[in-house]
Amino acid sequence: MKKIYDSAEAAIADLQDGATLVVGGFGLCGNPEKLIAAVHAKGVRGLTIVSNNCGTTELGLGILLKSRQVRKMVASYVGENKEFERQYLSGELEVELVPQGTLAERCRAGAAGIGGFYTPTGVGTQVAEGKETRVIGGREYLLEMPIKGDVALIKAWKADAWGNLVFRKTARNFNAPMAGAARITVAEVEEIVPVGKLDPDQIHVPSIYVNRLVVGKDYQKPIERRTTRPRS
């Protein structure tokens, strides 16, 4: 199977209006920058996006929100995105807020083919409304369902030609559970090495979860909120 594509645009060329995208990253850390830009340039609309948050007003997934390409966000954090807040409060954007750990596990369950799982997170809150509950060991749990999208967009540090992935430090974040949580997983990487060059013990996502690869270059890697302290 041919997995390596010449460009981000080619890797998402078959993306359709109304698709559900499962996107890695945390804030602006580990964003698939080139793939997001390609989705923006393609101009598809009516998207449902599943991600930890929606970037900032001007960066990350926020560019898709600003261009009105997003119909619904499934996220755990509104974050630094003022346009997200504005669209939600004005009724222009449908939002499903999911506890962060639950969101990661729902995506992992989707990738693993798990039919659902029970968690105590959200019991007694609005998160529990309309959901099946069960008492296990004297504690109440919610049944949460897996997430399976049309296309997963993730960012890794290195890949081999088969699609085995290695992440770098905190950029691993939501990228790992998103891999495989869609019919097609597209991985944007900084380098592709020959098969056998990656230490098998250091591979974070095996190639079975990855359908397409594209190399990105000239990364900006912006910081969502720069926090410094004076020198002592």
103-158: pLDDT as tens digits:
999 999 999 999 999 999 999 999 999 999 999 999 999 999 999 999 999 999 99
Average pLDDT across the chain, whole number: 95
Predicted pLDDT of residue 232: 75
Burial 164-189 (b: 16+ CB within 10 A, else e): bbbbeeebbbbbbbbbbbbebbbbbb
Domain residues for the domain of 181 are 8-115+145-215
Predicted pLDDT of residue 115: 97
Q: How far is Cα 150 from Cα 28, in angstroms, rounded to an integer? A: 22
Residue 98, amino acid: V
231: in domain:
no
3: in domain:
no
pLDDT band for 223, please (50, 70, 90 cuts). confident
Count of structural domains, the chain? 1
Q: What is the domain-level CATH number for residue 90? A: 3.40.1080.10
Using only C-alpha atoms, what is the Rg of the chain? 18
What is the pTM (predicted TM-score) of this model? 0.93
Composition of the chain by helix, strand, coil, percent to 5: 25, 30, 45
